[in-house]
Structure 1
Amino acid sequence: MKKKMILQQQMNEYKYHYLFTSFDLETYDLEDFKYNFVNITSFRLVDTADVGVKQILKDIGLYSHHIFKKPYLNLHFTKSTVLESEPALMFDSVYVFAIGLQTLEQSHSLTLSNISCEEENSWDGGLSLINYLNAVEWKGLTGPIQFKDGQRVQFKLDLIKLKQHSIVKVGEWTPHGHLNITEPSMFFDAGSMNVTLVVITILETPYVMMHYGKNFTGNERFYGFCVDILETISREVGFDYILDLVPDRKYGAKDPETGEWNGMVAQLMKYKADLAVGSMTITYARESVIDFTKPFMNLGISILFKVPTSEPTRLFSFMNPLAIEIWIYVLIAYFLVSLCIYIVGKLSPIEWKCINACDLENISIGNQFSLTDSFWFTIGTFMQQSPDIYPRAMSTRIISSTWGFFSLIIVASYTANLAAFLTTERMINPIENAEDLASQTEISYGTLDSGSTMTFFRDSVIETYKKIWRSMDNKKPSAFTTTYEDGIKRVNQGNYAFLMESTMLDYIVQRDCNLTQIGGLLDTKGYGIATPKGSPWRDKISLAILELQERGDIQMLYDKWWKNTDETCTRKNTSKQSKANSLGLESIGGVFVVLIAGIIVAAVVAFFEFWYNFRYNHKATTSQSVVNTKYNQDGILESDRNYTPPDRSFWIEISEELRYASWCMNKQKRPALRRTCSKCTIPKGQRINKL
């Protein structure tokens, strides 16, 4: 009952000390205390290492085999190394009484008579027997036997303590010398246990790393996040450790064909190690064969991928708000509407009007919607400008209104999308999550061999993850890597996605700006310290982990190894979808190209217009006289006469025209190409308004 209460109160650990008053501690079932380093001390009367005790145990085994003819009883007694103190004392008492009685018989003739307890008559040889018993000196099962005044004076008690696997002798107690401690190291305080555990691990940055220099030996060879946690826990719980690498360099996975485990799991199952420390994931399959402590880190599976390249900025990026086919449709609509206005304007009589020519005797009518004016009107309306002609007929107004509504929608849609296309950096990201990864074949992917991530996809019942596993299994062994470094190297080479645990991914992404995380976590799990099945260290280490988490020690260690500013890279702001960037010339440079191209085209057209006008006027002036008119400053016609202008070349005319334009003032008349009308005669003295 007391043992049950101790276990219920969780008082079976090294912090508690129990003193057993019984001399038979070795006969108790201490299985629940052996591996917890509980301080149990007691005294032992029967020395199991004594030759006489061993012979007695052997005789008991042979006797049971001879009498009962049951081999299992023989097996039980011959393998037993414990003799209880009560039967040993009874054996010694009978043996000492026999010696005293034998000595008494040798010196006196013994006559036995019936003695009644109701009468006061005593046996005559009783006093002599007591004297002979006090004179007996013999080594029995309980040690040396000697009496003085009826009390045993020559004996010893062994001081014993519970060690991890057995009970050991640590001292002696005698009536004269009292207590003598022979093993003082067995009496340790709560903070310095004399226990050394074998701990296995696996190299994985930044959890466990190794110094390869000659100056580092033993545990000093290893450093990293998990090494710091192990060192802290060892101080909290109170044990020493020997840290070494697992032989096959694997965490541990079960072979589905043979059912055999490998890696650190196999080492713990075979009791070749006491603890396994590293980035070891707690899974159902592993928990069924080994034990795990409380997780010291929570994580999940995510996708490591190379940072997608930015979409190359084009000179005509301002055209991106509308698709290329929309631009083509708008251009076709422009031509169709312009032709429709031209045709309808010709058909409608309202669009025709009189043209006031200089010759009043020859009055003619014309249409304002010529072919060129129709195209100019349509483009002006689309650009939301005020053209110099307006439709008057109902038919042309309907077309104009419809075209205006069309232009309003197109321009508004273009303006709404322009800001997003020019101010937001767009990324070419071929995959966004695990579903995208499973549904494509251009990008290969894989994970770590014999790890928990591989086991997760292999045993998953979700269709997307099953599809990913089938793809990786078909590409075995190229889809799997032996280390994380191999997977990271393949990701940096491009066109490869690596499925890995988020904590390791976070460490890599913060140090390599060319890599990024795709999507969220595919699952949730944790890292724990593994122990063999039924190990007493699990509960003590779990309590230490919880205490370290509450104090914030594990978080500080995480920041130390993950967020070291000396190693992290400078990454651009990733919130590009919500923050506008400044526009550069590479984004809107096409607008300037269009402007320059328009200016060049206009200059070329003006040149040809000037050339055409020069040729036309040159032919007219060479065939007939031109009326030369002179005006005073008030615009009054002073005189007129007929003359023939000189024959100038085209280049002289254009140079004179450019020189006149460079004056930027209208105080001088143009020297050439005067605008004349052969059909008009202006009376002398008439005022002319100069434009």
Structure 2
Amino acid sequence: MKSPENILTESALLYDSVKLLATALQDLDQSQSITMPSISCQTESQWQFGSSLMNYMRPITFRGLTGLVDFDQFGHRSSFTLDVMTITDNGLQKIGYWSGSQPSQPLNISEEWRDNYSIMSLANQTLTVTTIINAPYCMLKDSSATKVGNDRFEGYIVDVIDELSKMLGFKYKFKLVDDNAYGVKNESGYWNGLIGEIINGKADIAIVDLTITSKRAEAVDFTLPFMNTGISILFKKPTTKVTTLFSFLSPFSNVVWVYVLAAYVGVSSILFIVGRLSPYEWDNPHPCRQEDFVLENNFSLTNSFFFTIGSLMQQGSDLTPKAMSTRAIAGIWYFFTLIMISSYTANLAAFLTVEKVIYPIESADELSLQSTIEYGCLASGSTKSFFQDSNITTFKRMWNFMKNRDVFMSKNDEGKKRVQKGNYAYLMESASIEYIVERNCNLTQIGGLLDTKGYGIATKKNSRHRNLLSQSILKLQETGRLHMLKEKWWKQKKGGGQCAEDSKKSSSVTALKIDNVGGVFVVLLGGLSLAFFVAICEFMWKSRKSTTGCETMCEEMINDLKFSFACQSKSKPGRKKTYQTNVNNSSNYNSLSQPQIIRAQHFNKIDY
């Protein structure tokens, strides 16, 4: 059997449980004769010796694989000990224990780990906090010249440190970094900026928009991030309105225009076919001339196209459908043009009133493929290290462009000012870009995030402050306090929110796509199908009354269609039938008493 050190916890507990059950059954069997009835899942009857077995299990005590096994009067296991473990760079490590025999007692943490987990370890201590002036994280108050100490500063991280101090009970003292740098490792292996001051012991913690990176994590420890962000592009909005010669086509997308053109051609063609097929569209142009057997149809191919384009342009025409089928086509086409013209007019007004801005770049990839617009980042920070160490082709191309030009800035504020001059893009964290564009309406963020990172509080390596600060940051996140502080300093304080109305006014207008107007095309298609069906019914009804039997109804329809497509003439000859009305002598006896001449009347009837 394996040694207890190599057995899983579940296996050890199972072993001790089976041993306890076997011992209790043995004692029960010796005291009285027990029977084991058959077990069925269909019944809920209890075993008559169950309570006795439980009573025999309570007083049993033995040392098993999980330690001492014994129970209290309620049947709960009482004498056991749990080891408290933590994860270190070398794996799991025991830092204390908890005893089940004394559940009301706190954890017993070893001396070397106690300061890392005791909330009182920071009480009444004064921490030196190093930071950098960078809005909105840390700023000098307007009246800072007349104030001293912490009263000179305000900003997001000032409020965060104040919240942490209230939770952990420590005092703090802000200190501006000497070289105004965040922290970069030079060729000699030394760190400058905030990271350097933590390593050299000039400060206990460092907090600002300090990005957590793998290189920095080798030199210092970081708490959990109090803000998530990523690199993006700050750029100036174009000031000129972009106009094109064919701006009138903007309300509809190219696909919709193709569909409209196809609908125009399709409806015109179907109107021509149905107009030729329906017998009610063929009329005698001279009804008073009975000897004239020529019929005319106004819906020729050219007239059909003219009728639909006239309706589409809301100008109308002198053509009027007579048959029910052609009227159905005209009605559904009128409905189609009503919806499309209304949608076009409404969206055209939006395009004319809303300024459409086209940016010369839309992403980092487009920025890297051009050389007209210069771009850069902070000279000492994680953004520069990101491009310098990246193996992605786009970012390597951008680094090769930046390193040979004077595009690096000593402060983010300098980068913002250069962007405002034009023809320059500044690469910085999106959280800072969000703060800038809230207050500078002529600036905007281009594209999405190039990476994902977080801002954390830097402490010394293996510092006992890190775990306590991380736990407190989690509590601030869970209560929503960090979100409230960000809303305060990004959108309310220092001119925040002044570009909110501007962003609403400059909201982009998009062309209507087929998803927006697809329903009206479906209705048009259904209406055309119905009209075609009505035309066939009209032809069949008329043919039934006028066919001579020499040709079937289908043959007559085919002949008419052949004539329609083969001959573009708007007239065709009709067929004559003579009907003679005879005089019934018996019924008209009285009228015959007078001398009259009764002539047979001939009526011309044209069949189709």
> What is the TM-score with the length of structure 1 in the denominator?
0.44
TM-score by length of 2: 0.49
Determine which structure has more spread, i.e. the larger CA radius of gyration.
1
Higher RCO (CA 8 Å, separation ≥ 6 residues): 2
